[in-house]
Amino acid sequence: MCHAGATNRDMQEHFQHSADTISKIFLRLLDMTISPQFYNKYVHLPPDDLVPPKIQADPKFYPFFKDCRGAIDGTHIDIFVPDDALTTCYRNRK
């Protein structure tokens, strides 16, 4: 569902189960992926001081992305901004 952008309805059709069952199982899987046992074993974040060579070598990217962690691949993560004054810092083109 997450990888292919499938909907709950697509999953109902694929697995031949109700929307309620699909939702319950999906939430259980999400809970499992954020559990410490799974997260600590399989999720490996890059070191804080590592700047990818592509960003480091390009003056067009370095000043803006030198402190970023993670991939620049179009992935968007919902966040909650702590202060209304900071909302403009968290906006992007999508």
45 with 69: CB under 8 angstroms? yes
Pairwise CA distance, residues 68 & 71, whole Å: 9
Work out the burial of residue 78: count CB atoms within 10 Å of its CB; fewer than 13 is exposed, 13-18 middle, 19 or more buried. exposed
Q: What is the pLDDT of residues 46-61, one digit of tens each?
A: 676 777 788 888 888 8
Which pLDDT score, from 0 to 100, does residue 61 have?
83
Does this model's pTM top 0.75? My answer is: no
Task: Give the 3-state secondary structure of residue 63.
Answer: helix
12 with 19: CB under 8 angstroms? yes
11 with 1: CB under 8 angstroms? yes
